[in-house]
Structure 1
Amino acid sequence: MSGFIHEWRLMARSRLALAAVALLLALSTLAVVLGTREITREQRTMDHLATLQAQELAAQARKYAQGADAGSAAYYTFHSTWSPPSSAAFLAIGLRDASPYVLRIRALALQAQLHEGESFNPELALAGRFDFAFVLVYLAPLFLIALLHDLVSGERQSGRLGTLLSMPGAGGRLWLRRAGLRTALVLAALMLPVLLGGWANGTAGVALATVALVTAAYLAFWSGLTLIVATRASDSTASATMLMGCWAVLTLVLPTLASATLTRTVPVRQGVELMLAQRQAVHGAWDLPRETTMAQFFRTHPELQRTSPLPAGFHWKWYYAFQQLGDESVAPQVAAYRDGLLARQHWTARLGWLLPGVGVQAALHRQAGTDLSAQLAYQDRIADFHARLRGFYYPYLFNDVRFGPQDFAAQPRFDPPSSDEPMPVGSLLGLAWLGATMLLLGARAAGRVRLFPRSRI
């Protein structure tokens, strides 16, 4: 314990080191505050839309006080769907910054409604949000490099290294103690705002423990890597240059190359393409014989085949039949689209076992419920609700039953997906393996410090 107290006294004399820790604390606090504000804004938006939805439903219900056509009710009634943020979403905004978390759904063709919200300005989405995940992945390694790059070379350049190495018990414990203290301060600067933000947002203890484990594993990786370079470099400039190159390669170059390779290897059609293909199928149905459309519809809905025949002119059941067929026409493309997205996510999770920054983002976004799996779960919940909505209206439409106020009140209600997310065990194991391996290599390098470096970096 006395050794750590002594190291703290030495570090306290370095205003630059203390300023670096204070700056990281400020950045982490800012990230947590901005993330909390964004999630609060989303929650207020959902609450406001819920109020507007209730008012709109009440206005629509008055139109059917004397009874009316169910097709008109299905066409003009919008139903709100929403994906509530998890209690840890303020830490990693993820896809909630680009994908819709609120959608209004009708009983019409589904795919066009699902992917209408994909139209956004890509330049605005490119930078992403300044959240805790950004601070941890991109900024925290820079602060560790600033604090540890001259761990040995600074003592060598000042002429104190020979004296330190001659002291009893110097070995690797001295450098590990110094690196451990500075890494612990970086960990505290990162986690203190997270704990306060978690308390303010009601985040579960399991989620906070996951974030702490992810942060500790990531810092262990960079601490070990910094020890390896710092104990072998001839001077502080060479050490800082090498470590900055490692940071650029591991956090920018390799993830970008991996993403580009994954995009080419696992091609995925855009959701907008599905929307256009589905709309073309729906619009083309206006020119097809109605009997052909109904015969095709009854193949998948034989229970409705014995209903009354189509009258002359327009009828709602023909309209909703070809809306249904529009979704069925793109069902293979939708399945391929989802399979491609899931394949990309699967390979991204595997990359997290090799690239720590990728693993951190995968773990945090999974725990926060802001990744692709959460977005697809929301779409699945919408699809289930849409199927219930169609199933509710079809008996009215195909049996020519009048639609009254009691029927309007009995419409299905959307059930949002759960905001509780499981612990990302796979990503945690990958980060733990990377962090432990690099830390062991760093400890080994710390035990082999020489007065004069064997190799110059």
Structure 2
Amino acid sequence: MYKLLFKSFFRTKIFLVSLVLLLTVGVISILTGKQYLVKQEKAIAAAQVYQEESIKKNVEYHRDDLGLLLYYLRFTLVKKPANISAISIGQSDVNPLLQAVTIRGLEGQKYDTDFENPSLLMSGNLDLGFVIIYLFPLVLIAMTFNLYSEEKELGTWRILAAQTSRKALFLLKKLVVRILFVFGVLFFLMFLASVTLQIPLEQNFWAIFLQSVLYLLFWSALCFWIISLQKNSNFNALTLISIWVVLTILFPALVNNYVINTYQVPEALDAMVEQRDGYHEKWDLEKAATMVSFLEAYPQFSKYDVPEDEFSWIWYYGMQHMGDLTAKETSEEMTEKIMLRNTVSEKIALFVPTMHAQLSFNTLAGTDMLNHLDFLIALTEFHEKLRLGFYPKIFDHTTADAIDWSKYESKFYTTKRDFNWLSLLLPTLCITLIIALVTFYNLRKL
């Protein structure tokens, strides 16, 4: 029976169209991911070269004044993207993967990033995750919407029904043939992605793979449920397309609008302005007022004198740090609200397989917002370490020649966030099983 069903399916136009479409778009999505990795590698290499050359040039010009030299020098922290991020680029096209900062106020630098084409950001990236979430369900719908209705409309269903007492099983076998075809293409694309993108076969890769399988099983069950209602082909096609639009476009947009308006995040610009205002207003105050707060934070520098009648680097960098402290509350509020948005979205996504799949892909690929917040925390620690390492040398009037600049290369940050297999796979599995049970109940009426 399966042999005949496969032969019959392979002779249809929908098989050939689906195969060419999925393979073509799938390969393009993998190449898009490869291009993304190459672009990031080039940016990282360029940043490393720039930092090395910048240090050499500026040391020549400001050899005797370390405070002035470090006013200009930038030091780079890089979050090198894992190769698996090419499967689901997520928000990494908006959030920078490297930051070059001076030892001056951090809040004014933390949210600096390159300008991106708004049209490209709106359309998103054609990565493999996009193909799985949006295109694969459409192909499933196209192959299954008339699985039963076409037989009935052509008048062949009565003949088939007369030859078997298990009509529901016959429909299920026809569905299985199409599901196996889709899974075959998915397996091929995932294997091709692992080879082309050089993704190690570790747990994050297998988690994305299993999430993809469950996601397609969900859509298979959904298609079979609509078939079990025994309506005509037009009804099936319109209903399934409507469900696809609601689950992939409308509902995520509504959830996004809800979390944005419920948890309004202060603009990053606010923190930058507060940092600048907090720094600039110190020029009009007595130096002692600035130094009291600075020395409370760093009592180890209390041994250095701060002359009231002349410029000093300890006072200047003290002002810079006080600017960061002024913006600290806004920065923390912004981080807290972003985390709340993410938490609410994840909870709602437990009941929406399309959203759950997208968020899972981003989390497993390390391209979600929480991953970027972890990077910003690491950037703060990196900046703190730089400042506290250079402050004593600046305040002691050390020259640039006394520092081994070869140690100050670009630093790399790696993150590995754990995930729970149960919370990852169970939501989609439960919804799929519920739909399957309802479907089999309906099929009893055949």
Scaled to the shorter chain, the TM-score interval is: over 0.9
Deviates more, 1:180-189 or 1:413-422: 413-422
Which of residues 245, 270, 276 in structure 2 aligns to 1:273? 270
Question: How far does the alpha carbon of each residue in 1:124-172 deviate from its partner, in whole angstroms, 9 at most, with x for none?
Answer: 3111111112112221111111000001101111112223233335242
Which of residues 182, 199, 217 in structure 1 aligns to 2:214? 217
2:234 alignment partner in structure 1: 237
Structure 1 residue 419, shift from structure 2 partner:
5.4
AA aligned to 2:226 is V
1:374 alignment partner in structure 2: 371
Alignment partners' CA distance in 2, 1:126 and 1:170: 49
CA contact (8 A) 2:75 2:408 kept: no
Structure 1 residue 406, shift from structure 2 partner:
3.6
2:31 alignment partner in structure 1: 33
Question: How far does the alpha carbon of each residue in 1:275-334 deviate from its partner, in whole angstroms, 9 at most, with x for none?
Answer: 122112112222222121112212222222232232522111111001001111111111
CA contact (8 A) 2:64 2:400 kept: yes
TM normalised by structure 1 equals 0.92
Structure 1 residue 211, shift from structure 2 partner:
1.9
Aligned to 2:310, what secondary structure does the other structure show?
coil
Q: Which runs of 5+ in 2 are unaligned?
A: none
Which of residues 407, 431, 435 in structure 1 aligns to 2:432? 435
Which of residues 172, 196, 200 in structure 2 aligns to 1:204? 200
1:5 alignment partner in structure 2: 3
1:264 alignment partner in structure 2: 261
- Superposed, which structure 2 residues align to 1:14-413 within 5 Å? 14-63=12-61, 68-117=64-113, 120-168=116-164, 170-205=166-201, 206-310=203-307, 312-398=309-395, 400-409=396-405
AA aligned to 2:316 is Y
Mark the CA change 1:118 to 1:52 in structure 2 (over 3 Å): closer, same or farther.
Answer: closer
CA contact (8 A) 2:87 2:128 kept: yes
Deviates more, 1:409-418 or 1:195-204: 409-418
Structure 1 residue 204, shift from structure 2 partner:
2.1
Alignment partners' CA distance in 2, 1:112 and 1:326: 9
Alignment partners' CA distance in 2, 1:180 and 1:276: 59
AA aligned to 2:79 is S
AA aligned to 1:416 is F
Alignment partners' CA distance in 2, 1:392 and 1:412: 11
Structure 1 residue 394, shift from structure 2 partner:
1.6
Aligned to 1:116, what secondary structure does the other structure show?
coil
Structure 1 residue 413, shift from structure 2 partner:
5.2
Q: Confirm or deny that 1:417 pairs with 2:413.
A: yes
AA aligned to 2:40 is E
CA contact (8 A) 2:88 2:367 kept: yes
AA aligned to 2:254 is L
CA contact (8 A) 2:6 2:177 kept: yes
Alignment partners' CA distance in 2, 1:375 and 1:420: 12
Mark the CA change 1:54 to 1:82 in structure 2 (over 3 Å): closer, same or farther.
Answer: same
Aligned to 2:92, what secondary structure does the other structure show?
helix
Question: How far does the alpha carbon of each residue in 1:244-293 deviate from its partner, in whole angstroms, 9 at most, with x for none?
Answer: 11111111111111111111111111212211221121122222221211
AA aligned to 1:167 is Q
Alignment partners' CA distance in 2, 1:167 and 1:68: 96
Structure 1 residue 238, shift from structure 2 partner:
1.0
Where does structure 1 differ by over 4 angstroms across 4 or more consecutive aligned residues?
118-121, 410-414
Alignment partners' CA distance in 2, 1:56 and 1:412: 11
CA contact (8 A) 2:26 2:128 kept: yes
Structure 1 residue 63, shift from structure 2 partner:
4.6
AA aligned to 1:222 is W
Alignment partners' CA distance in 1, 2:317 and 2:64: 17
Structure 1 residue 386, shift from structure 2 partner:
0.2
AA aligned to 1:307 is Y
RMSD, aligned α-carbons? 2.0
Alignment partners' CA distance in 2, 1:122 and 1:282: 32
Mark the CA change 1:136 to 1:306 in structure 2 (over 3 Å): closer, same or farther.
Answer: same
Q: Which runs of 5+ in 1 are unaligned?
A: 451-457
AA aligned to 1:344 is R
Aligned to 1:307, what secondary structure does the other structure show?
coil
Question: How far does the alpha carbon of each residue in 1:215-247 deviate from its partner, in whole angstroms, 9 at most, with x for none?
Answer: 111111111111111221421111101111111
Structure 1 residue 22, shift from structure 2 partner:
2.3
Question: How far does the alpha carbon of each residue in 1:188-229 deviate from its partner, in whole angstroms, 9 at most, with x for none?
Answer: 223312211212222121233112211111111111111111
